Structure 1
Amino acid sequence: MSDSVGQYLNEIGLVPLLTAQEERELSQTIEKGRDAADRLERGERGRELQRAVRDAAAAKDRFIRANLRLVVSIARRYPLPSGMELLDLIQEGNLGLEHAVDKFDWRKGFKFSIYATFWIRQAIGRALDQKASLV
């Protein structure tokens, strides 16, 4: 394992995991922020709308940081093609994680990690397919 991978793993290992309740609360905050951003785009004004957008950005960041270990655990399962490093797969998986955070619907009662695994695998698989088509 390279030094950069080890350092990354150490850093993300310091971030606490989320409980199911925290996942719901963060998802609700993100949803409120999305609604507030829509209202701001339509011309509405208000500090509470701006605060909701800022809170949503912070909630999304926390949600993503708390699930970076999931991306690593999934990325490690894939064989690395020549010219590609584990950090490349992790980066692609992180894009899938971000998409999962954006699309997650807390009302359906699913655990986020189950839902996110699909999007992470899809992003990594797509990157591997693109790499294979370049060869």
Structure 2
Amino acid sequence: MYLKEIGRVELLSGEEERRLAQAIEDGNRAALELDRPDLTDVERRRLMRAVNAGQSAKSELIQANLRLVVSIAKRYTLRGMQFLDLIQEGNLGLMRAVDKFDYTKGFKFSTYATW
């Protein structure tokens, strides 16, 4: 069931990855600015929209790369861990890679995440 579901998610182009990574970065920056006490209601709403867009972009980037985790996990199935445990650990690594990805360096996300 899980494998069929992740197979339905479209793969991203390099440009889409950069767009999502930029939205994530903008959302993270907006989240930091939300702590300022001098914000107007309009500014606060604008920042909240950026935070929400960043969270959505992060989710989309993760979902689009779940197949990558499965393909890497398949390579390690005969090394003592259960396949589902490998996927679970890989998903944690994927989430960390999304947080750390620097799109300005020009690499595709999959290259960064597998390295």
TM-score, normalised to structure 1, is 0.78
Q: Which one-letter code corresponds to 2:49 in the other structure? A: R
- Once the two structures are TM-superposed, the CA of residue 87 in structure 1 deviates from its matched residue by 1.0
The 2-side partners of 1:61 and 1:38 are apart by 20
Moved over 6 A (4+): none
Q: Provide the residue aligned with 1:33 in structure 2.
A: 27
- Once the two structures are TM-superposed, the CA of residue 14 in structure 1 deviates from its matched residue by 0.3
| Superposition CA RMSD, Å | 1.1
Higher relative contact order (CA 8 A, sep 6+): 2
Q: Provide the residue aligned with 2:83 in structure 1.
A: 86
* Secondary structure of 1:43's aligned partner: coil
* Secondary structure of 2:34's aligned partner: helix
- Pick aligned residue for 2:14 from 9, 17, 20: 20
Structure 1, unaligned runs of 5 or more: 1-6, 119-135
The 1-side partners of 2:12 and 2:5 are apart by 16
Contact kept? 1:80, 1:86, Cα under 8 Å = no
TM-score, normalised to structure 2, is 0.91
The 2-side partners of 1:101 and 1:60 are apart by 7
* Pairs within 5 Å for 1:1-135: 7-43=1-37, 45=39, 46-78=44-76, 79-81=78-80, 84-118=81-115
> Percent of counterpart pairs with the same letter?
61
